[in-house]
Chain A
Amino acid sequence: MELRFTDEERAFRQEVRAWIDENLPAETRERMASGRTPTKAMQIDWQKRLYAKGWAVPHWPVEWGGQKWSAIQRFILSEEMQSTPAPSPLGFNANMLGPVMIAFGTEEQKKHFLPKIASLDLWFCQGFSEPGAGSDLASLKTRAVREGDHYIVNGQKTWTTLAQHADWIFLLVRTDPGAAKQQEGISFLIADMKTPGITVRPIITIDGAHEVNEVFLDDVKVPVENLIGTENRGWDCAKFLLSNERTGQARVGASKERIRRLKLIAKEAPGGARPVMEDPRFRSRLTEVEVQLKALEMTTLRVLADENRQLSQRKPNPASSVLKIRGTELQQAISELYVMAAGPYGLVASDPEADRWNEPEVAQDWQTLAQATYFNWRKQSIYGGSTEIQKNIMAKAFLGL
């Protein structure tokens, strides 16, 4: 056991940091630092820069654009990006579809798609959830019927994040409704969003943002070569993907950045008699979160070190549930600290779709975003396997209950 970063790792961190500093466009950094998500153009631009450098998908095999890095190096890169803050490579591409295709795809699929997935030439969205199939994903009803060299897909997906930006979608569809077990009749397809019969309808979340959508599929013709893995074995891909999704959600680096920024803000934030940062109650609530975040950072490193093994064995890693549960709780707790810091001026609504506050200035930008972010981040414990579902998994897989 060696619990400290080595000199090489420290040097690597310096190299990464310097490169990000040099290459991240100022307006992207500024927007990220304000607490907003990147625009589509910013996301694509940044991912292309990473791709050119070879850093977009370091966790992939070298032949597909990955790096022979240790888990710690990968952690350092993603932490540095999050704490700059810079956009992270699009999760749907880099952490979900990419690894699935590497594990389950054909050579042709890999050759054709992987470079585009890594570089974000094609933006993918995730069409798993349906109105009736959320936590119980395996009950999904979207139907795909094979007709010659196509599948004809009919059904509805929902909560599809950033479908409005997406070029392609990866879908779970039911190909064998008669299978003995629900999980056995599902297939994993990818489809061009321009295919006739695909309609996207926005869903506005409680903070006013347009981030999720309904996707309607009406006699959509998907070529059979867009099947990933074996027909009716799509659930294997889904399980594999979901376990990767959960590891990504701890976002320790991002939480550290939000805390550092909050400290700067709170130092200036009016608190009546003294700045908010000097309020002992605020400080101790903040410190409590920091302590938990430190623990989560160590847990993340432990899980990551384990992940090399997991990937090669193509098995989901149940330990990632710990990261998902605590990581999202902490992100939510941090958002509540921002609300506290903003106080009465937190009542001023923001337009999260706008680049910045575009009405006469009645509050500071961060104050107007505090409650919106708090509302938005309630999603964290719902998506990607809700906290309740994570605990069910843990009780079963770890505790034998």
Chain B
Amino acid sequence: MDFDLSEDQRLLQDSLAKLLKDKYAFEQRKGYMASETGWSRDVWAAYADLGLLAMPFAEDDGGLGYGAVETMIVAEQFGRALALEPFIPTVVIGGAFLRHGATAEQRAALVPQIAEGKLLLAFAHTETQSRFDLNDVATTAKKDGAGWVIEGRKGVVVHGDTADQIIVTARVSGGRRDRDGIEVFLIPADTQGVTRRGFKTSDGQRAADITFDNVKVSADAKLNGGLALAERVVDEAIAALGAEAIGCMEASKDLTIEYLKTRKQFGRPIGSFQSLQHRAAEMMVCLEQARSMAMLAAMMASEEDPAERRRQMRAVKIEIGRNARFVGQQTVQMHGGIAMTMEYVGGHYLKRLTVIENMFGDVDHHLAALSEEGGVFVAA
């Protein structure tokens, strides 16, 4: 085992950190957020120049052939900067769908576009009744000659308002919650019958509510793999979101420690009060435990045994979620009023961490499932 980054990995980390330092001062971020897309196309192009958008794809498909560790490194930097661009929807999630579920021709057509920053993807899986269950799908796909007709509604599609293509789970057979009978479709957002309503999410990012009304797509719109594919992709998303959370938590902790050293009340730095010192120390405990889980996630992302991978990823989501909540809340608490304001970055970490906690299953969702599945250390 080796927990150190390689030379190349360190280079990747440093070059992204430098880019974000230039492009993602808190004031610049406010500007991106206020724009119509809610993020920056210029910065997206800079990510493309750095090769970030090509990372996870095979070299044969026009990618760089990087693995989960590189994704972790990058997502963590995005977390630190509270970056707003659709990296996880397009590159991590969309990328994983293409890698594991698309044909060679589809990859040849789409991967270069993603790598160049010209194609954005979003994953539409949540429905009003589904909560966090990927298998709870009321949206239908019916055979229509050689193609398919999609009918239904998806909510809270993260970055769905700007995506060029939408990846949609739909039911071809069975009852609403059956694990069988679910397929995944890749649908151009401008297809007749697709209606999007964009809105802000509580962390200031963007999402869309999307209805599919008699949407006709060709046969090759269906990716290969159904629910198992979607679950595998979600596990990779959980790993990347976990890494993003680590970046957020770390920046949040650093900001708080700095504040404890500089803010004075009662004639001395508030960091001299032992109750706050202990809380800051606990933040660090949380961060390190969470960081370990982000590494576990990077390790398990490529695990081929789906049951084993699921269990470990649930553990990751639970432990990072719990610790992130503590760090986010204590960042605000130990700052006092100042971190309650939009104008200060502190509270934005809490907001982003809350959103991450509520994507792809919250702590209780995964606790219930993991305990059902026999826990982490399965007895013989």
- Interface, chain A (partner B; CB < 8 A): 129, 132-136, 139, 158-159, 203-206, 208, 212, 270-273, 276, 279, 281-282, 285, 339-340, 342-350, 359-360, 362-363, 371-372, 374-375, 378-379, 381-383, 386-388, 391
- The chain A residue with its CB closest to the CB of B328 is A378
Does A208 contact B266, Cβ atoms closer than 8 Å?
A: no
Give A341 to B177 CA distance when docked, in angstroms.
Answer: 20
Does A272 contact B341, Cβ atoms closer than 8 Å?
A: no
Does B362 contact A340, Cβ atoms closer than 8 Å?
A: yes
Does B199 contact A371, Cβ atoms closer than 8 Å?
A: no
Does B340 contact A382, Cβ atoms closer than 8 Å?
A: yes
Does A204 contact B342, Cβ atoms closer than 8 Å?
A: yes
Q: Quick check: is B355 within 8 A (CB to CB) of the other chain?
A: yes
Q: Quick check: is B336 within 8 A (CB to CB) of the other chain?
A: yes
Give A342 to B265 CA distance when docked, in angstroms.
Answer: 38
Q: Which residues of A contact B368 (CB under 8 A)?
A: 279, 281
Contact among B200, B340, B342 for A379, CB-based, below 8 A: B340
Contact string against A for B residues 110-138, beta-carbon threshold 8 Å, 1 for contact and 0 otherwise: 00000000000000001011111100100
- The chain B residue with its CB closest to the CB of A369 is B202
Q: Which residues of A contact B355 (CB under 8 A)?
A: 347, 371
Does B202 contact A372, Cβ atoms closer than 8 Å?
A: yes
Minimum C-beta distance from A163 to chain B (A): 14
Does B341 contact A345, Cβ atoms closer than 8 Å?
A: no
Does B329 contact A340, Cβ atoms closer than 8 Å?
A: no
Q: Quick check: is B332 within 8 A (CB to CB) of the other chain?
A: yes
Contact string against A for B residues 269-313, beta-carbon threshold 8 Å, 1 for contact and 0 otherwise: 010010110000000000000000000000000000000000000
Does B202 contact A382, Cβ atoms closer than 8 Å?
A: no
Does B128 contact A270, Cβ atoms closer than 8 Å?
A: yes
- The chain A residue with its CB closest to the CB of B197 is A360
Minimum C-beta distance from A328 to chain B (A): 11
Contact among B207, B265, B342, B348 for A135, CB-based, below 8 A: B265
Does A206 contact B347, Cβ atoms closer than 8 Å?
A: yes
Q: Which residues of B contact A363 (CB under 8 A)?
A: 155-156
Given contacts A270-B129, A343-B131, whether A378 and B199 have CB atoms under 8 Å apart is: no
Given contacts A270-B130, A273-B177, whether A382 and B156 have CB atoms under 8 Å apart is: no
Q: Quick check: is B224 within 8 A (CB to CB) of the other chain?
A: no
Contact among B199, B336, B342, B358 for A206, CB-based, below 8 A: B342
Give A383 to B339 CA distance when docked, in angstroms.
Answer: 12
Does A371 contact B364, Cβ atoms closer than 8 Å?
A: no
Q: Quick check: is B209 within 8 A (CB to CB) of the other chain?
A: yes
- The A-contacting residues of B in range 330-374, CB under 8 angstroms, are 332-333, 336-337, 339-343, 347-348, 350-351, 354-355, 358-359, 362, 364, 367-368
Given contacts A203-B341, A270-B130, A272-B133, whether A340 and B364 have CB atoms under 8 Å apart is: yes
- The A-contacting residues of B in range 27-86, CB under 8 angstroms, are none
Give A277 to B27 CA distance when docked, in angstroms.
Answer: 42
Give A54 to B84 CA distance when docked, in angstroms.
Answer: 54
Q: Which residues of A contact B348 (CB under 8 A)?
A: 206
Give A350 to B203 CA distance when docked, in angstroms.
Answer: 11
Does B362 contact A343, Cβ atoms closer than 8 Å?
A: yes
Given contacts A271-B131, A379-B340, whether A362 and B199 have CB atoms under 8 Å apart is: yes
Excluding A347-B359, A378-B329, A379-B337, 12 further A-B contacts by CB distance (< 8 Å) are A204-B342, A206-B340, A206-B341, A206-B342, A208-B342, A272-B177, A342-B358, A343-B132, A344-B156, A345-B128, A378-B347, A378-B350
Give A271 to B132 CA distance when docked, in angstroms.
Answer: 8
Does A134 contact B131, Cβ atoms closer than 8 Å?
A: no
Does B202 contact A135, Cβ atoms closer than 8 Å?
A: no
Contact among B130, B132, B337, B343 for A158, CB-based, below 8 A: B337
Does B265 contact A134, Cβ atoms closer than 8 Å?
A: yes
Q: Which residues of B contact A386 (CB under 8 A)?
A: 333, 336
Q: Which residues of A contact B133 (CB under 8 A)?
A: 272-273
Q: Quick check: is B106 within 8 A (CB to CB) of the other chain?
A: no
Q: Quick check: is B201 within 8 A (CB to CB) of the other chain?
A: yes
Q: Which residues of B contact A129 (CB under 8 A)?
A: 337
- The chain B residue with its CB closest to the CB of A363 is B155
- The chain B residue with its CB closest to the CB of A343 is B131
Give A150 to B204 CA distance when docked, in angstroms.
Answer: 47
Give A273 to B176 CA distance when docked, in angstroms.
Answer: 10
Q: Which residues of B contact A282 (CB under 8 A)?
A: 364
- The chain A residue with its CB closest to the CB of B130 is A272
28 A–B contacts, CB within 8 A, in A order: A134-B337, A135-B270, A135-B336, A272-B131, A272-B133, A276-B131, A339-B354, A339-B358, A343-B362, A344-B359, A345-B126, A345-B156, A347-B202, A347-B355, A349-B200, A349-B204, A350-B202, A359-B199, A360-B209, A362-B156, A363-B155, A375-B202, A375-B350, A378-B332, A378-B340, A379-B337, A382-B332, A391-B275
Does B207 contact A347, Cβ atoms closer than 8 Å?
A: yes
Give A176 to B112 CA distance when docked, in angstroms.
Answer: 72
Give A237 to B270 CA distance when docked, in angstroms.
Answer: 26
Q: Which residues of B contact A208 (CB under 8 A)?
A: 342
Contact among B177, B265, B358, B367 for A347, CB-based, below 8 A: B358
Does B358 contact A382, Cβ atoms closer than 8 Å?
A: no
Given contacts A203-B343, A346-B358, A371-B202, whether A388 and B275 have CB atoms under 8 Å apart is: yes
Give A279 to B131 CA distance when docked, in angstroms.
Answer: 12
Given contacts A348-B202, A372-B202, whether A382 and B155 have CB atoms under 8 Å apart is: no
Minimum C-beta distance from B255 to chain A (A): 14
Minimum C-beta distance from A391 to chain B (A): 7
Q: Which residues of B contact A203 (CB under 8 A)?
A: 341, 343
Does A378 contact B197, Cβ atoms closer than 8 Å?
A: no
Does B199 contact A348, Cβ atoms closer than 8 Å?
A: yes
- The chain A residue with its CB closest to the CB of B204 is A349
User: Quick one: which of A159, A279, A362 has the most chain B CB within 10 A?
Assistant: A362
- The chain B residue with its CB closest to the CB of A395 is B275
Q: Which residues of B contact A342 (CB under 8 A)?
A: 358
Give A272 to B132 CA distance when docked, in angstroms.
Answer: 7
Minimum C-beta distance from A199 to chain B (A): 18
Q: Which residues of A contact B367 (CB under 8 A)?
A: 281
Q: Which residues of A contact B204 (CB under 8 A)?
A: 349
Minimum C-beta distance from A59 to chain B (A): 28
Q: Which residues of A contact B177 (CB under 8 A)?
A: 272-273
Does B359 contact A136, Cβ atoms closer than 8 Å?
A: no
Does A204 contact B341, Cβ atoms closer than 8 Å?
A: yes
Q: Which residues of A contact B156 (CB under 8 A)?
A: 344-345, 347-348, 362-363
Q: Which residues of B contact A359 (CB under 8 A)?
A: 197, 199
Minimum C-beta distance from B188 to chain A (A): 22
Give A388 to B129 CA distance when docked, in angstroms.
Answer: 41
Give A99 to B195 CA distance when docked, in angstroms.
Answer: 58
Does A347 contact B350, Cβ atoms closer than 8 Å?
A: no
Give A38 to B193 CA distance when docked, in angstroms.
Answer: 41
Q: Which residues of A contact B207 (CB under 8 A)?
A: 347-348
User: Quick one: which of A158, A344, A359, A381 has the most chain B CB within 10 A?
Assistant: A344
Give A272 to B276 CA distance when docked, in angstroms.
Answer: 41
Q: Which residues of A contact B201 (CB under 8 A)?
A: 347-349
Does B209 contact A362, Cβ atoms closer than 8 Å?
A: yes
